[in-house]
Amino acid sequence: MSAVRTLRYVAIGDSLSEGVGDLPWPDGTPRGWADRLAQVLADHHGGLDYANLAIRGHRTVEVLATQAQPALALDPDIVTLTAGMNDILRPRLDVAALRQRLVDIVAPFTAKGVRVAVVPIPDLRGVTPAGRLLQRRRLLLNELYDGLAQEHEMIPPTVTTGTVFEDRRAWAEDRLHLSELGHTRLAVAAAELMGVPATTDWAGLPDGPPPRRTVRTEVAWTREYVWPWTWRRLRGRSTGDGRTAKHPDLVRQRSRGPGRMVES
């Protein structure tokens, strides 16, 4: 009698899946929603084998070239993908090429029966001034995600409209990455899509009003985050330069018992 294989989950993508913005693990490694999701799935299924190949700054071209095949070789049952945001942040955008790269990333997994989920980009107009500039491209990217999910029988993307992901408290100080709250809520939302009943209201807003935006806060944000980001782009640099995946091999996640949720 053959043993039942432990569920395998692999995360690929960019800084969102790497966990940037969340509280780090004690060793300084980014935590993030994918790590949190892995633990929720482990609790629900009695254990899990988990790998995370995501690297900050990666565009779809890098995800396709350096992450997709290694992830496929791990023979996963579930794959989550966050890719495209770094593409739409570039001055020039070839939508047809972006769509094809997303297809090339996803299709080998779905052809093998792997359950694949993508994370849509929320409406950022209330989070950052750049949200208005990105609105048209954000909608285009989410349309690509929706089409991808339908054509390749993926897990439907989470609906973010009117949720906590449009609130500034779900975002880190750089307004580009999720905060601890955002990563925690995204893990619960993703787990629900994968059949794990949510025991908390992941979409609801925290109590009280979000922090006010003032001239002082906007100047500080521009100085501390916008200019360094712009300077890196002008020099052709990326925050992912020289970085490697934090969990390139499958790591056993043990269950903490039924009914446990991700700890924040």
In a domain, 26, yes or no: yes
Tell me what pLDDT residue 4 has: 76
In a domain, 219, yes or no: no
Tell me what pLDDT residue 25 has: 94
In a domain, 214, yes or no: no
Q: How many independent structural domains does the chain possess?
A: 1
Place of tokens 């095949």: 69
In a domain, 201, yes or no: yes
In a domain, 115, yes or no: yes
pLDDT digits (tens, 9 = 90+) for 30-70: 999 999 999 999 999 999 999 999 999 999 999 999 999 99
Question: Which residue range is the domain that position 46 belongs to?
Answer: 8-208
Intervals of the chain under pLDDT 70: 1-3, 214-215, 218-221, 225-241, 258-264
In a domain, 3, yes or no: no
Tell me what pLDDT residue 216 has: 79
CB burial of 141-169 (b: ≥16 within 10 Å; e: otherwise) equals bbebbeebbeeeebbebbebeebbbbbbb
User: Starting from the edge strand earliest in sequence, which strands make up the sheet with 48-52, in order?
Assistant: 115-118, 78-82, 8-13, 48-52, 247-253
pLDDT digits (tens, 9 = 90+) for 226-258: 666 666 666 666 665 678 999 999 999 999 875
In a domain, 173, yes or no: yes
| CA–CA gap between residue 249 and residue 71 (Å, rounded) | 9
Q: Indicate the pTM of the whole model.
A: 0.89
Q: What is the CATH number of the domain that holds 151?
A: 3.40.50.1110
- Rounded to 5 degrees, φ, ψ at 11 are -105, 135
In a domain, 114, yes or no: yes
Q: Is 248 helix (H, G, I), strand (E, B) or coil?
A: strand
Tell me what pLDDT residue 263 has: 40
